[in-house]
Structures are given as C-alpha cells and as structure tokens.
C-alpha cells in the first residue's frame, strides 16, 4: 500500500473520528451510572440527540451503499424505495413515538420483550424469553454484517486489509458501547448522524457542479440507460408495476415499531417537549438525507455509465474519491464508517439488554445489585461483540443472507405485535406468541422460496403475521386484562 499525501490526510481524519467516538465512551465510563442510565439513558438525553441517534441507527451503511447503489442502477424509479422508507419514518415518529414514551413510563420497562411481557402477563415469561432470544440472535448477525461492512469499506477506500480493518473498528465499537452503554451510544450516534447529514449535502452539490462543467445532460443520460431509468415508474405497468411498488414500499412495514434498536430511542424520550423537538429534527434530517441519497444515485448514473463501477454499491465511495479533495473525502469516508458503526453499537445494546435484562434478570429471576448488573451487561457486550467478529470473519456469505431477511424476521414481525398491542384491545398473549413464531419461520421460508422474486419477504411476512395475530387472538383470548399484573 503506497502512502501519498492524499491518503495520509484521509487516514488521519478517519483516525481522528475513531478517537472522538472512543473518547465519548471513556467520558461516560467515568460517570456514575445506574442500570436505568446504562440501558435507556435514565431520562438524561436531549430529544435532538435521540432523534439523531434513531436516524443514524436506522439508516446504517444501507443508505450510503445499498440505497444509493440501487438508485444508480434503477434511475428515477429508485425514488419508490426511499418513499416507502420515508412514509414509515413519518408514521413512526408521528403516531408511535409518543405511545412508546408513555408506555415505557407507565410500565417502567427498558426493552420491547419486557414491555410485551408486562402487557400480556398470562403468557409473559414465554413472550419475554421468545422475543429476547429471537431479537438477540438476529442482532448478532446484524452486528457481524456491520463489522464486515466496515472491513470492506476501509479496504475499498484505503486498501487496508479487510480482516485488520474489521477487527480494529469492531474493537472500538465494542469499547465505547461497553463503557457507556446507551448513554455513549446515543451521543456517538449524534456525531455520526451529523457526519451523515454533511455527506449527503456535500456530495450531490459537488456532483451536480461536475455535471454542469462537463456539459452533460441528466435527461439524456437517464434515457440512455435503457432500463426505463428516465421514467418514474421504470417503464413498468400492470402486475410488474404493482410488484415493484409493493417491494419498494415494503420497507415501510419495518419502521412500525418492531425494530428494537429504534423503538428504544422513542422509549428514552423524557417528556413531551423533548418529543416534539426530536420529531422535527428527525423529519428534517430524513428529508435532507433522502433527497441527497436520491440525487447522488442519479448524478452518479450520469457521471459514470453502467458498467463503469464493478460493484454498484460502491458508487458513492467512488464518487467521493474522484470528485472531492482529500480533506473533504476523509470526512465523507468517516461518515460512511459512522453509519455502519452506529448500527453495530445499537445492535450490541439489543443483545445486551436481551441477555442481561430480559433473560437473566426478568425471565430467570436472578437478582443482582446495581454494580453487578452493570458488570454483567458489560461482559455481555464484550462477548456478543467478539461473537460478531468471529461470525463476520468466518461466515461472510451466511451473514449476508441473514441480514437480508432480518428486517422481515425482526422488524416486520414485531411491528405487527406493536401495532396490535397499541391499537387492538382484543390482542391476546397467545396471539402475540403465534405472531412471533410465524414471523421467524415466515421470513426464512419466504426469503428462500420463489415468492421472494415476486414480492419481498418484508411485505409477505408482515401480512402473514398480521393475519395470524388476529386469528389466534380471537381463538384464544386472554382471561386477564392486559397490564393487570406484572411478571
């Protein structure tokens, strides 16, 4: 690997960023914390920070690499992918965030599994254990996928060995997550979210200037793609159009409260004033970033014709390297790493709370003082992080498959449980159990079946789970009122 002045600048900026997030972890590790602080921030985190944290966690590397790469290949019709996600985000912040905040205060819970258990006490232990195991297991593979993404990203932009890059960044993520828990993760997310926002402002502006300077026509370039890239509906009609729209809009269902790493941000909000602030920050952030991501994909297809980039998901890093001076490129590359790291750290917290709070403490009833609870939690973060590294390095192809349907297996499945719990009084504990089990197997079977080529498992799993939840709740109603007792 040849070191040039440009590469040294980029490496230095990435190193500074990594030191900053590690420093945040060290800062919070020195503060006296209760388990409520470590698990959910202890009502001490401002609303705007939680909004930044939720947005950075939700988008991860997918927005920088997957979504932009998809738009680069699809053209204008790629807007429907972002539209489905955008509507889901607006819905969650407008109609679910306040309910999560209120329910958390009412029942004094820190996690989704614990909340479901308290709401359906007749089957609470089973619901809590089942939810925690499925969320924790899928999250391990999410973590492994994010660690793998950091290694590939560092390799693509600097030539650093994938294994070395994966391990170094993973250790930093594990360290700050372990030291400060939710507090350090939320504040590092705020830094990461700001970097992501900056990236999607700078790159499309620079790309547009490059297009103008080279006298390129956006409309002609899109028309020359030959795949309907210059048409908002991709040149499709009938069933093909319906399938395309449903598949792209299916991301909407995963934003309906079922992603534990996102719903905990809603639960951590301390009052309605902070909720209002967080809501508008989230709206504005999403609008800017989504417009930026769309424009990067479109402008990328104008500047670099199909086939120019071997891996379409690397179009944004390629554009950054080609169009930006090193000192700005280093900031953008740090933003890409930030997106990946924010999701990895949040998933580590999901595993941590699933094991230490939901399984060890609540399900098996093992008592511990505050000091030992924090000790167990930190050990859980370290162990799950190490497992994530091992899975990432040894089972790369398997990780890719799991991450592909984890959105359906966790997000869409538990979104159904959240919606039924919040908005349908006849929902029963048996209905919740049936929904969770159905979602787990449906995501796997649907993803591996020919149905996936027609309609995504993200949509299929949601509707299958919804039907099962309603039917089993009607067939097996609870004998006790929801929330009558705690378990």
Write down the domain spans for the chain: 5-396
d(CA 96, CA 421): 11
* 394/360: higher pLDDT: 360
Which residue do the tokens 């990203």 mark?
A: 153
Most confident of 183-192, 318-327, 422-431: 422-431
Check: CB of residue 345 under 8 Å from CB of residue 185. Answer: yes
Q: What is the pLDDT of residues 332-373, one digit of tens each?
A: 888 888 878 888 888 888 888 888 888 888 888 887 777 888
Task: Give the sign of the dihedral formed by CA 199, CA 200, CA 206, CA 211.
Answer: positive
d(CA 110, CA 166): 30
Indicate the DSSP class of residue 271: S
pLDDT bracket for residue 484 (50, 70, 90): very low
Question: Is residue 480 left, alpha or beta, with left meaning phi > 0 and alpha meaning psi from -120 to 50?
Answer: beta
d(CA 152, CA 166): 8
d(CA 254, CA 413): 8
Check: CB of residue 316 under 8 Å from CB of residue 86. Answer: no
Most confident of 62-71, 240-249, 259-268, 286-295: 286-295
Q: Is the pLDDT of residue 95 over 90?
A: yes
Q: Is the pLDDT of residue 1 over 70?
A: no
Q: SS3 of 349, please?
A: helix
Indicate the DSSP class of residue 425: T
pLDDT bracket for residue 453 (50, 70, 90): confident
Q: Is the pLDDT of residue 437 over 60?
A: yes
Give Cβ neighbours of residue 286 (< 8 Å, ≥ 6 apart): 55, 86, 89, 90
* 404/333: higher pLDDT: 333
Check: CB of residue 374 under 8 Å from CB of residue 33. Answer: yes
DSSP assignment of 7-39: HHHHHHHHHHHHHHHHHHHHHHHTS---HHHHH
d(CA 168, CA 181): 19
Question: Is residue 305 left, alpha or beta, with left meaning phi > 0 and alpha meaning psi from -120 to 50?
Answer: beta
Rg (CA), the chain: 22
d(CA 1, CA 261): 38
Q: Is the pLDDT of residue 169 over 80?
A: yes
Check: CB of residue 334 under 8 Å from CB of residue 17. Answer: yes
How many C-beta neighbours within 10 Å does residue 482 have? 16
- Identify each DSSP E strand in 306-398 by its residue range: none
Lowest mean pLDDT among 171-175, 312-316, 378-382: 312-316
Q: What is the predicted pLDDT for the residue at 483? A: 46
Please state whether the predicted TM-score (pTM) of the whole model is above 0.85. Answer: yes
Give Cβ neighbours of residue 364 (< 8 Å, ≥ 6 apart): none
Q: Is the pLDDT of residue 400 over 70?
A: no
Share of the chain above pLDDT 70, in %: 95
CA angle 253, 399, 65 (to 5 degrees): 65
- Please give the structure tokens belonging to residue 218: 């956006």
Q: What is the mean pLDDT of the chain?
A: 86
Q: Is the pLDDT of residue 3 over 90?
A: no
Which residue do the tokens 């490496």 mark?
A: 11
Which residue do the tokens 């959240």 mark?
A: 418
Q: What is the predicted pLDDT for the residue at 342? A: 83
Which residue do the tokens 């591996």 mark?
A: 448
Across 174-195, average pLDDT: 89
Q: Collect contacts of 385-390 with beta carbons under 8 A, ≥24 apart.
A: 385/143, 385/170, 385/173, 385/174, 385/177, 385/178, 385/348, 386/174, 387/140, 387/143, 387/144, 388/140, 388/143, 388/144, 388/146, 388/147, 388/170, 388/344, 388/348, 389/144, 389/147, 389/166, 389/167, 389/170
Q: What is the predicted pLDDT for the residue at 349? A: 87
Q: Helix count (H) and strand count (E) of the chain?
A: 20, 0
Find, among 307, 78, 71, the residue nearest to 207 by Cα. 71
CB-count exposure of residue 96 (10 Å: 0-12, 13-18, 19+): buried
DSSP assignment of 446-481: HHHSGGGGTS-HHHHHHHHHHHHHHHHHHHS--SS-
CATH architecture of 5-396: Up-down Bundle (1.20)
Q: Is the pLDDT of residue 259 over 60?
A: yes
Find, among 340, 327, 323, the residue nearest to 7 by Cα. 327
Instruction: Please state the three-class secondary structure of 105-152 as a single string.
Output: HHHCCCCHHHHHHHHCHHHHHHHHHHHHHHHHHHHHHHHHHHHHHHHH
pLDDT bracket for residue 396 (50, 70, 90): low
d(CA 46, CA 61): 25
């Amino acid at each position: 690997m040849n070191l040039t002045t440009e590469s040294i600048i980029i490496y230095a900026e990435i190193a500074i960023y990594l030191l900053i997030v590690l420093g945040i972890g060290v800062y919070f590790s020195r503060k006296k914390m209760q388990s409520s602080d470590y698990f959910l921030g202890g009502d001490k985190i401002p609303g705007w920070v939680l909004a930044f944290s939720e947005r950075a966690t939700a988008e991860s590397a997918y927005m920088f690499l997957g979504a932009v790469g998809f738009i680069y290949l699809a053209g204008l019709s790629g807007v429907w992918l972002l539209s489905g996600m955008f509507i889901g985000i607006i819905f969650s912040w407008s109609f679910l965030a306040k309910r999560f905040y209120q329910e958390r205060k009412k029942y004094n819970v820190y996690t989704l599994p614990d909340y479901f258990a308290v709401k359906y006490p007749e089957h609470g232990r089973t619901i809590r254990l089942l939810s925690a195991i499925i969320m924790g297991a899928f999250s391990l593979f999410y973590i492994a996928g994010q660690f793998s993404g950091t290694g590939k990203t560092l390799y693509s932009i600097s030539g650093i060995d994938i294994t070395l890059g994966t391990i170094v960044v993973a250790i930093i993520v594990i360290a700050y997550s372990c030291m400060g828990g939710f507090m350090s993760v939320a504040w590092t997310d705020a830094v990461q979210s700001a970097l992501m926002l900056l990236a999607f402002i700078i790159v499309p502006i620079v790309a547009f200037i490059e297009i103008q300077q080279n006298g390129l026509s956006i409309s002609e370039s899109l028309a020359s793609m030959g795949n309907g890239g210059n048409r908002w509906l991709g040149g499709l009609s009938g069933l093909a159009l319906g399938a395309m729209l449903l598949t792209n809009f299916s991301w909407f269902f995963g934003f309906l409260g079922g992603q534990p790493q996102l719903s905990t941000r809603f639960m951590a909000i301390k009052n309605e004033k902070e909720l209002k602030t967080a809501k508008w920050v989230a709206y504005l952030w999403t609008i800017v970033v989504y417009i930026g991501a769309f424009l990067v994909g479109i402008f990328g297809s104008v500047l670099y014709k199909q086939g120019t980039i071997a891996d379409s998901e690397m179009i944004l890093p390629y554009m950054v390297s080609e169009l930006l001076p090193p000192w700005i490129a280093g900031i953008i590359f740090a933003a890409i790493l930030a997106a990946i790291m924010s999701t990895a750290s949040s998933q580590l917290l999901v595993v941590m709370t699933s094991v230490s709070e939901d399984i060890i403490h609540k399900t098996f009833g093992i008592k511990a003082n505050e000091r030992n609870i924090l000790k167990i939690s930190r050990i859980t973060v370290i162990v799950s992080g190490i497992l994530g590294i091992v899975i990432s390095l040894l089972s790369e192809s398997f990780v890719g498959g799991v991450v592909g349907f984890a959105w359906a297996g966790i997000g869409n499945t538990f979104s159904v449980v959240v919606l039924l719990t919040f908005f349908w009084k006849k929902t029963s504990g048996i209905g919740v159990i049936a929904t969770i089990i159905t979602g787990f197997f449906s995501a796997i079977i649907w993803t591996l079946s020919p149905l996936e080529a027609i309609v995504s498992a993200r949509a299929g799993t949601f509707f299958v789970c919804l039907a099962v939840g309603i039917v089993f709740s009607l067939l097996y109603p609870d004998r006790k009122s929801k929330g009558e007792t705690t378990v």
